Amino acid sequence: MLNSNKCLICDENLNETIELTDWRSNENKKFEYYVCKNCGNIQIKEIPENLSDYYSDNYYSLQKSYINDKQFSKIKKFLLKHRELYFFKIKKDILGFLVNVIKPSKEKHRENFAIKFLFDNMNKGIVLDVGSGDNWLWQYFHKLGWTNIIGIDPFINNDIFINGHKVIYKCTFDEFIKNNNCDNIQAVMFNHSLEHIANPIETLKLTHSILPSNGKCLLRIPLNNGIAKRLWGYQFPTFDVPIHLWIPSINTINVLLQKCNFIINENIYENEIDLLMEYYKNFKSESEIPNLSKIQKKYFNKLSMMSYVLGISDIIGLVLEKK
Ligand SMILES: [Zn+2]
C-alpha cells in the first residue's frame, strides 16, 4: 500500500524523493514522490486526503451528443455499427466506409488499441473496463447493441444505465468483484487507470483470479523513462500528479507482472505524434508556439518512430495473459 516508504511494486526501502508539479492547476502545486532505486518506480509520498477534488469535472469529458436519451431506430443502429467497425479498423467494411463519408465518426483514433482489444474479446464474454470514468463510448456501444462492455469507476457521480442495463458501476474493482457474478468475465482493461490505484499488485492478482485460463488483460500505462522524460524531465502531462499515485519504469512493469503471474502476449509502445506535441506545448507555454511548423511536425514524427523502435516510449500498451 502507499503512504509507506517501501516501493509498492518491489518492496525496496525508499529514501530519495523528487518534486512534481500539478500541471492542471494554475497554482503549480508541488507533490513529493519517491524514486525507487531498485526497479525505477516513482510513487507519491503521501496521498492527498482530498484526492477526488483533483479529478476535476472536466477530467472525464462526456460527449452527450452521442448518447442522448432517444433510442436509435433499427436502421440507424445497423448503419452506425458498420461505420464504427470501419472507423475503428475492426474490419474492412465498405458500407461502413460509405456511411463514414456521408456522416463521419467524431471519435479520435487514439483509443484504437483499447477498442481493438474490446472487439477481440467481447464475443467471448464480458469485458470489464476498470477506471472507465463515465465513458460515453461504452454507453454509445450499448445503445448500438454491443452490450458486453462494463465500466467501473469510484469517481463518477452515479451508476449509469442505458436501455435499462447498468453500463457503468460507481464502485471500486474489489467492490464490483464482491457484489457481482464474475463467471462470464472474459477480459479486463486497465486503460490508463492502474496508475490511479494504490494497490496495483492486489488489483492485478484479483484480475488473475477472476479471468478464465484464456482470459486477457489490457494494460495501458505511462512510463517514467521514455523519450519525453529524457528530453524534458518530469514536467509533462503523463505524470499527471497527484492523481497518478505511481508511475512505473519498464523494469517496474516486469517486476509487477512476474509477481502477479501474467505474461506479455502483445507489446505496443504507443508514442504518438499528438502526445509528443502535447508535451512540447506544456514544456513551452502555448502562446509561444501557436502552431507547429511542418519541420517541427516532421521532427516529432521522427522522434515518435525512433522511440517506438528503441523501446523508449512514454506510454506502453500490453495485452497480458495468465502464466
Ligand atoms: Zn521498486
For residue 202, how far is its CA from the centre of ligand 1 (angstroms)? 16
For residue 259, how far is its CA from the centre of ligand 1 (angstroms)? 12
Hey, which residues does 43 pair with through a beta bridge? 34, 246
pLDDT 10s digits, 255-276: 999 999 999 998 877 766 666 6
pLDDT 10s digits, 27-53: 778 899 999 999 999 999 999 888 878
Give the separation between CA 201 and CA 127, rounded to whole angstroms. Answer: 20
Give the separation between CA 217 and CA 188, rounded to whole angstroms. Answer: 5
For residue 194, how far is its CA from the centre of ligand 1 (angstroms)? 16
CA 38 from centroid of its chain's CA atoms: 26
For the chain, percent of residues with pLDDT exceeding 90: 50
Cα–Cα distances (Å) from 175 to 180, 181, 191, in that order, read 8, 12, 19
Cell match 452490450: residue? 147
Answer whether 240's CB lies under 8 Å from 196's CB. Answer: no
**pLDDT at residue 61 in the model:** 43
For residue 49, how far is its CA from the centre of ligand 1 (angstroms)? 24
Residue 95: pLDDT band by 50, 70, 90 thresholds? very high
For residue 255, how far is its CA from the centre of ligand 1 (angstroms)? 8
For residue 253, how far is its CA from the centre of ligand 1 (angstroms)? 10
> Whose CA is closest to 2, among 56, 40, 37, 48?
48
For residue 77, how far is its CA from the centre of ligand 1 (angstroms)? 48
For residue 33, how far is its CA from the centre of ligand 1 (angstroms)? 13
Long-range contacts of 139-144 (CB under 8 A, 24+ apart): 139/66, 139/67, 139/167, 139/168, 140/66, 140/67, 141/84, 142/167, 143/67, 143/71, 143/72, 143/77, 144/72, 144/77, 144/80, 144/81, 144/84
Edge-first strand listing for the sheet containing 126-130: 160-162, 165-169, 149-152, 126-130, 185-191, 216-222, 315-322, 262-269
For residue 251, how far is its CA from the centre of ligand 1 (angstroms)? 9
Angle at 147 between CA 141 and CA 150, to 5 degrees: 90
**pLDDT at residue 51 in the model:** 83
The 3-state secondary structure of 59-92 reads CCCCCHHHCCCCCCCHHHHHHHHHHHHHHCCCCC
Hey, which residues does 152 pair with through a beta bridge? 130, 169
For residue 127, how far is its CA from the centre of ligand 1 (angstroms)? 30
For residue 70, give every residue at least 6 positions away whose Cβ sits within 8 Å of its Cβ, in sequence order, or none. none
Cell match 464482491: residue? 178
pLDDT 10s digits, 180-197: 999 999 999 999 999 999
Whether residue 134 has pLDDT greater than 50: yes
Cell match 495485452: residue? 319
Residue 3: pLDDT band by 50, 70, 90 thresholds? low
For residue 257, how far is its CA from the centre of ligand 1 (angstroms)? 13
For residue 65, how far is its CA from the centre of ligand 1 (angstroms)? 44
Mean pLDDT value of segment 116-126: 94
Answer whether 126's CB lies under 8 Å from 145's CB. Answer: no
Whether residue 310 has pLDDT greater than 70: yes
> Whose CA is closest to 110, among 192, 26, 177, 25?
192
Range among 50-59, 143-152, 261-270 rated most confident: 143-152
Residue 280: pLDDT band by 50, 70, 90 thresholds? low
Cell match 492486489: residue? 202
| Mean pLDDT over the full length of the chain | 85
> Whose CA is closest to 131, among 109, 145, 114?
114
For the chain, percent of residues with pLDDT exceeding 70: 83
Answer whether 61's CB lies under 8 Å from 137's CB. Answer: no
pLDDT 10s digits, 230-258: 777 776 667 788 999 999 998 999 999 99
Q: How many CB atoms are located within 10 Å of the residue 154 CB?
A: 17
Residue 89: pLDDT band by 50, 70, 90 thresholds? confident
pLDDT 10s digits, 100-114: 899 888 776 556 788
Answer whether 196's CB lies under 8 Å from 243's CB. Answer: yes
For residue 312, how far is its CA from the centre of ligand 1 (angstroms)? 19
Mean pLDDT value of segment 137-166: 91
